[in-house]
Amino acid sequence: MAEGDEEAPEKKKGGNKLVVILLAVLIVVILAIGAVVTTLLLTGGDDKPAGEGDETTEQSEEVEEPKGPPITVPLGDPITVNLSKPNDANVLQVQLDLVTRDPKVEELIKTQRSRVVNDVMLVLSDVDSAELRTRAGKEALQETLTDEINRIFEDASDLEQPIENVYFTKLLMQ
């Protein structure tokens, strides 16, 4: 029995040594990870994230394009159409101004006016008057008209996005 008592304390000491070694290794690993994270944070702080660099590039491209002051060109007389989906209004009348920054587009608007008016009439005839009563509906129509008019001018010239925006100077539903 004396031999059994002596062996038991030795196993406990060996177990304690193993725990101490594992704790030391764990501490070294934690310190190494901390050093790596600290190094990455200190050196990575000066670099821009990937998303910010892309925005800067896009902004510099916009700045490089020669842009003058906005030129507002009235499309002419009001355009009147019958609505295909009459709710409480059967007729829609709009008068539009086109905004560009390129003086060449002003001449293009004059030469392509009849095609622009025709395509605007086609778009307007499909408008739902209930949707057009809301601000969101008007903004959606404004965006649709801008895209449609830009498509016409892009077909007729080599310009990309010649019209910056379309503004309603008159909008009447009856």
More confident residue, 48 or 119: 119
- Confidence bin at 141 (pLDDT 50/70/90): very high
Q: Would you state the pLDDT for residue 79?
A: 92
Separation CA 108–CA 111 (nearest Å): 5
**Separation of alpha carbons 163 and 122, rounded Å:** 19
The single-letter DSSP state of residue 85 is B
What digits encode the pLDDT tens for the residues 28-62? 999 989 888 888 888 865 555 555 555 554 554 55
Give residue 107's pLDDT.
Answer: 87
**So what's the pLDDT on residue 131?**
87
pLDDT at res. 157 = 82
- Name the burial class of residue 108, with classes exposed (0-12), middle (13-18) and buried (19+) by CB atoms within 10 angstroms of its CB: buried
Residue 148 has a pLDDT of 92
CB 79 within 8 A of CB 94: yes
Q: Is pLDDT of 7 > 70?
A: no
Does residue 172 sit in helix, strand or coil? strand
Mean per-residue pLDDT over the chain, rounded: 81
Answer yes or no: pTM beyond 0.75: no
